[in-house]
Amino acid sequence: MAIIPFDRLEGSIWLNGALVPWGDAKVHVLTHGLHYGSSVFEGERVYGGRIFKMAEHGERLVNSCRIMGMTCPYSAQELNRAAEETVRANGITSGYLRRVVWRGSEMMGVAAQANRINVAMASWIWPSYFAPEALEKGLKLTIADWRRPAPDCAPTQAKASGLYMICTLSKHAAENAGYNDALMLDYRGRVAEATGANIFFVRDGALHTPTPDCFLDGITRRTVMELAARRGIEVIERVILPDELEGFEQCFLTGSASEVSPVSEIGPYRFDVGALTKQLRSDYMAEAQGSVTVAVAVAG
Ligand code: PMP
Do 73 and 54 share a domain, yes or no? Answer: yes
Domain range for 45 is 8-124
β-strands 50-51, 39-47: how paired?
antiparallel
Q: How far is CA 118 from CA 62, 96, 102, 165, 289, in A?
A: 13, 20, 5, 21, 31
Do 143 and 108 share a domain, yes or no? Answer: no
Residue 49 lies in a domain: yes
Query: Does residue 198 have its Cβ closer than 6 Å to ligand 1?
Result: yes
Candidate list 26, 53, 159, 171, residue with the active-site label: 159
Residue 2 lies in a domain: no
Do 117 and 139 share a domain, yes or no? Answer: no
CATH number reported for the structural domain that contains residue 85 in this entry: 3.30.470.10
Do 105 and 59 share a domain, yes or no? Answer: yes
Q: How far is CA 223 from CA 55, 129, 279, 299, in A?
A: 13, 18, 14, 20
- Total structural domains in the chain? 2
Residue 294 lies in a domain: no
Nearest-atom index, ligand 1, CA of 222: 14
Q: What is the mean pLDDT of residues 260-286?
A: 97
Question: Ligand 1 centre and the CA of 217: distance in Å?
Answer: 8
Question: What is the share, in percent, of the chain residues with pLDDT greater than 90?
Answer: 92
For the cut 70, the answer to whether the pLDDT of residue 236 exceeds it is: yes
pLDDT of residue 294: 47
The model's pTM: 0.95
pLDDT in tens, 15-56: 999 999 999 999 999 999 999 999 999 999 999 999 999 999
Do 110 and 13 share a domain, yes or no? Answer: yes
Do 57 and 97 share a domain, yes or no? Answer: yes
Q: Last residue of a domain, which of 124, 147, 166?
A: 124
Q: Is 53 a catalytic residue?
A: no
Do 196 and 251 share a domain, yes or no? Answer: yes
Do 112 and 178 share a domain, yes or no? Answer: no
Residue 296 lies in a domain: no
Do 184 and 220 share a domain, yes or no? Answer: yes
Residue whose CA lies nearest to ligand 1 atom number 1: 197
